[in-house]
């Protein structure tokens, strides 16, 4: 119904608007293998030799006759660039071109070569576009056409690997089927490779371009985009791996935006889901204009003084920040612990909580980083989940001070189930004073892959009565919970229809069936300290507890790690019972110490504060 409504609105918009006629319509561009790609060219009135913005699309070049991007609309003559828009090989006007043996980057190179031969072209070519239109820019850039001057890839890195489609080992089913509906048609090959394997290794090695960037880029992403985590890592790598001459000409812009493509929200719009960010509207357009004007037209607009990262702080302050680092991930973190009565606190928890997970009645996806005509995108109120009996919720007390984070939130849970397999889905929210519970980010992990590797040999099924540790790393985000709000998480066994629903029977994945009902217990006590690790500076969570917490180390006995609660420490050393040093760190960050390498026995943990105060704690390693 949503797709039909969207197409109906588009139809009436088209019928009530004047169509813009390309200067050159449906012209053919020759490729090196003799195939032809179809293109439209838009030249502003009076321009006889101009610089080009190239768009390569699988979504039909003809749509641009109703409106050019970056706010140009129908006002072609009020801007300086020539626009060349080409249908991908195998799509729309280029449908007849052979797709059996080719490289999209080589097609991009050949398009650039054709452009340079036209008498209306100057000498520079910039590329622009979101999603698939963004990824193909990296393919083109790696071919190093001498006239390809700069690129504006949005909400994409070009990367293709196992975790591109299987988040935490769980197929992002709704997005894959949406790509099929758009004509990309990846389902057969993705579902034929449901485990990490050589196919995915080759695919990733052939489509990761951070070391093959030889031109300036403005990479644009959104905090509610499903590619944001990969984009943040890719950008960091591009700052060190790109050609040395352009490493400091890689810019990143991240706003409070969705991926776009399936609803009213898009990269650069003010309304995102159920929230509005007025000061984020058109920011992606304005920065892209400055970038392209600088590199294509030599504009004296100060772009070279622009900080390399511009990013939006969601939540409390709704403001823009900048940085010249290659990574804005916080260097420190703090822990919240799941506790009885649905509490989240900095003290540690007691007890456990259970829920029943039925694959025939899965908990629904409500907004988030989706890409499907059947799902909403962006921040939506999660309150309807609170009435379900297959979800656990945990929340802090009302915050006495703001809590600001930037980076990847890590969830550690200790899970027991009476079924051999299952998924653990997490939704992180901001509980507003008015009762709304607005989604910030979410994640999922398939328990058979809880070790973090996704090869078939890595499958490890659960046994009833056993407790298993599972870690879920959420996508990179930047958020501030304001005073008077609260931090809230939802824990469930599924997240449909965005993610595939686990049948929980330990059988073959991605087959039809009713599945098994699972009784799942989340343990949260000193032996099994289920926690939420928040990345941020000076986050010590007494800021909302309004009390001083004494120094404590747990669990004791320890199995794989020690957790430090209370005082911030600078260094640690671990000694055995005869005083021999076993482990040490001169630059201790965070509140966790991995002790999995220690043999069973009794040890002394020595901790030093920044003020030089030393404390000791005796613990047993099981």
Note the pLDDT of residue 590.
65
> Strand, coil or helix: what is 371?
coil
Is the per-residue pLDDT at 166 higher than 80? yes
Tokens coding 18: 């004047």
- Taking residues 41-51, what's their average pLDDT? 97
In whole angstroms, what is the distance from residue 376 CA to residue 367 CA? Answer: 5
Is the per-residue pLDDT at 547 higher than 50? no
- Taking residues 146-164, what's their average pLDDT? 96
Note the pLDDT of residue 327.
96
Q: Is the dihedral of CA 412, 236, 405, 170 positive or negative?
A: negative
Note the pLDDT of residue 540.
54
Note the pLDDT of residue 492.
98
Beta strand spans in 96-193 (E): 121-130, 148-154, 166-167, 170-171
> Comparing 2-16, 91-105, 131-145, 460-474, which segment has the lowest mean pLDDT?
2-16
Note the pLDDT of residue 348.
86
Note the pLDDT of residue 613.
63
pLDDT, one tens digit per residue, over 377-403 is 999 999 999 999 999 999 999 998 899
> Comparing 285-289, 371-375, 559-563, which segment has the lowest mean pLDDT?
559-563
Is the per-residue pLDDT at 373 higher than 80? yes
Q: Is the dihedral of CA 110, 112, 113, 114 positive or negative?
A: positive
Determine contact, residues 160/207, Cβ cutoff 8 Å: yes
Beta bridge partners of 621: 558, 601
Determine contact, residues 56/126, Cβ cutoff 8 Å: no
> Comparing 271-285, 344-358, 569-583, which segment has the lowest mean pLDDT?
569-583
Cα distance from N-terminal residue to C-terminal residue, the chain: 57
In whole angstroms, what is the distance from residue 527 CA to residue 554 CA? Answer: 8
In whole angstroms, what is the distance from residue 382 CA to residue 574 CA? Answer: 44
Determine contact, residues 371/178, Cβ cutoff 8 Å: yes
Burial of 349 (0-12, 13-18, 19+ CB in 10 A): buried
- Taking residues 552-576, what's their average pLDDT? 85
Phi, psi of 135 (to 5 degrees): -60, -40
pLDDT, one tens digit per residue, over 248-306 is 999 999 999 999 999 999 999 999 999 999 999 999 999 999 999 999 999 999 999 99
Is the per-residue pLDDT at 8 higher than 90? no
Determine contact, residues 516/359, Cβ cutoff 8 Å: yes
Q: Is the dihedral of CA 108, 111, 112, 113 positive or negative?
A: positive
Tokens coding 350: 């007691």
Q: Whole-prediction pTM value?
A: 0.87
How many other CB atoms are there within 10 angstroms of residue 574's CB atom? 21
> Comparing 38-42, 135-139, 317-321, 468-472, which segment has the lowest mean pLDDT?
317-321
Is the per-residue pLDDT at 216 higher than 70? yes
Is the per-residue pLDDT at 530 higher than 70? yes
Is the per-residue pLDDT at 215 higher than 80? yes
Note the pLDDT of residue 316.
78
Q: How confident is the model at residue 577 (pLDDT cuts 50, 70, 90)?
A: low
In whole angstroms, what is the distance from residue 182 CA to residue 176 CA? Answer: 10
pLDDT, one tens digit per residue, over 27-44 is 999 999 999 999 999 999
DSSP 178-245: HHHHTT---HHHHHTT-S--HHHHHHHHTS--GGG--S-EEEEEEEESTTHHHHHHHHHHHHHHS-GG
Is the per-residue pLDDT at 106 higher than 80? yes
Is the per-residue pLDDT at 201 higher than 70? yes
Is the per-residue pLDDT at 1 higher than 50? no
Beta bridge partners of 602: 620
> Strand, coil or helix: what is 519?
strand
- SS3 of 412-467: the string is EEEEEECCCCCEEEEEEEEECCCCCEEEEEEEEEEHHHCCCCCCHHHCCCCCCCCC
Note the pLDDT of residue 543.
43
> Strand, coil or helix: what is 274?
coil
Q: How confident is the model at residue 578 (pLDDT cuts 50, 70, 90)?
A: low
What's the chain's Rg over C-alpha atoms? Answer: 26
Is the per-residue pLDDT at 9 higher than 60? no
Q: How confident is the model at residue 603 (pLDDT cuts 50, 70, 90)?
A: confident
Determine contact, residues 337/331, Cβ cutoff 8 Å: no
- Tell me the percentage of the chain whose pLDDT exceeds 70: 93
Cα 86 to the center of its chain, rounded Å: 28
In whole angstroms, what is the distance from residue 378 CA to residue 440 CA? Answer: 9
In whole angstroms, what is the distance from residue 45 CA to residue 340 CA? Answer: 70
In the chain, what are the domains?
Answer: 333-548 (2.60.120.260), 561-621 (2.60.40.1930)
In whole angstroms, what is the distance from residue 142 CA to residue 58 CA? Answer: 20
């Amino acid at each position: 119904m949503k797709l039909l409504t969207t197409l109906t609105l588009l139809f009436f918009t088209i019928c009530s608007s004047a169509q813009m006629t390309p200067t050159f319509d449906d012209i053919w561009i020759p490729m090196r293998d003799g195939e032809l790609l179809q293109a439209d060219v838009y030249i502003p009135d009076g321009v006889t030799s101009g610089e080009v913005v190239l768009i390569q699309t699988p979504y039909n070049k003809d749509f641009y006759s109703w409106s050019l991007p970056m706010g140009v609309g129908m006002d072609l003559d009020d801007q300086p660039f020539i626009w060349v828009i080409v249908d991908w090989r195998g799509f729309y006007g280029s449908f007849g071109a052979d797709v059996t043996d080719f490289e999209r980057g080589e097609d991009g190179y050949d398009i650039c070569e054709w452009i340079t031969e036209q008498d209306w072209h100057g000498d520079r070519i910039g590329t622009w576009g979101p999603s698939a239109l963004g990824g193909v820019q990296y393919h083109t850039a790696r071919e190093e056409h001498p006239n390809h001057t700069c690129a504006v890839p949005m909400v994409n890195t070009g990367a293709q690997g196992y975790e591109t489609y299987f988040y935490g080992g769980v197929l992002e089913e709704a997005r894959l089927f949406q790509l099929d509906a758009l004509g990309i048609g990846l389902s057969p090959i993705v579902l034929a490779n449901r485990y990490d394997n050589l196919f995915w290794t080759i695919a990733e090695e052939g489509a990761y371009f951070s070391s093959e960037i030889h031109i300036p880029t403005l990479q644009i992403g959104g905090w509610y985009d499903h590619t944001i985590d990969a984009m943040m890592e890719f950008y960091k790598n591009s700052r060190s791996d790109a050609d040395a001459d352009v490493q400091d000409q890689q810019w990143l812009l991240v706003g409070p935006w969705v991926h776009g493509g399936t609803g009213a929200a898009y990269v650069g719009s003010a309304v995102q889901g159920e929230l509005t960010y007025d000061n984020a509207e058109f920011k992606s357009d304005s920065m892209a204009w400055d970038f392209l004007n600088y590199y294509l037209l030599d504009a004296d607009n100060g772009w070279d003084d622009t900080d390399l990262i511009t990013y939006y702080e969601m939540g409390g302050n709704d403001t823009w920040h900048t940085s010249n680092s290659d990574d804005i991930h916080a260097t420190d973190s703090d822990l919240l612990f799941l506790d009885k009565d649905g509490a989240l606190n900095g003290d540690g928890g007691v007890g456990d909580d259970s829920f029943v997970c039925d694959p025939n009645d899965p908990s629904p996806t409500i907004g988030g980083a989706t890409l499907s005509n059947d799902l909403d995108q962006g921040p939506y109120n999660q309150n309807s989940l609170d009435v379900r009996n297959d979800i656990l919720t945990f929340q802090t007390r009302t915050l006495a001070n703001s809590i600001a984070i930037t980076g990847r939130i890590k969830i550690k849970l200790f899970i027991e189930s009476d079924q051999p397999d299952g998924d653990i889905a997490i939704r992180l929210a901001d509980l507003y004073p008015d009762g709304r519970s607005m989604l910030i980010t979410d994640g999922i992990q398939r328990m058979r892959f809880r070790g973090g590797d996704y090869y078939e040999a890595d499958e490890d099924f659960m046994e009833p009565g056993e407790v298993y540790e599972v870690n879920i790393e959420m996508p990179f985000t930047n958020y501030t919970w304001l005073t008077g709000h609260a931090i809230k998480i939802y824990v469930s066994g599924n997240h449909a229809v965005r993610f595939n629903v686990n049948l929980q029977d330990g059988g073959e994945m991605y087959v039809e069936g009713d599945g098994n009902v699972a009784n799942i217990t989340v343990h949260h006590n000193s032996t099994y300290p289920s926690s939420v690790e928040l990345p941020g500076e000076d986050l010590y969570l007494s800021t909302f507890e309004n009390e001083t917490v004494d120094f404590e180390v747990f669990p004791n006995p320890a199995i794989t790690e020690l957790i430090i609660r209370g005082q911030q420490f600078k260094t640690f050393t671990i000694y055995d019972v005869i005083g021999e040093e076993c482990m040490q760190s001169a630059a201790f960050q965070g509140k966790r110490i991995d002790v999995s390498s220690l043999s069973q026995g009794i040890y002394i943990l020595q901790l030093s504060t920044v003020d030089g105060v030393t404390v000791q704690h005796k613990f047993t390693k099981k």
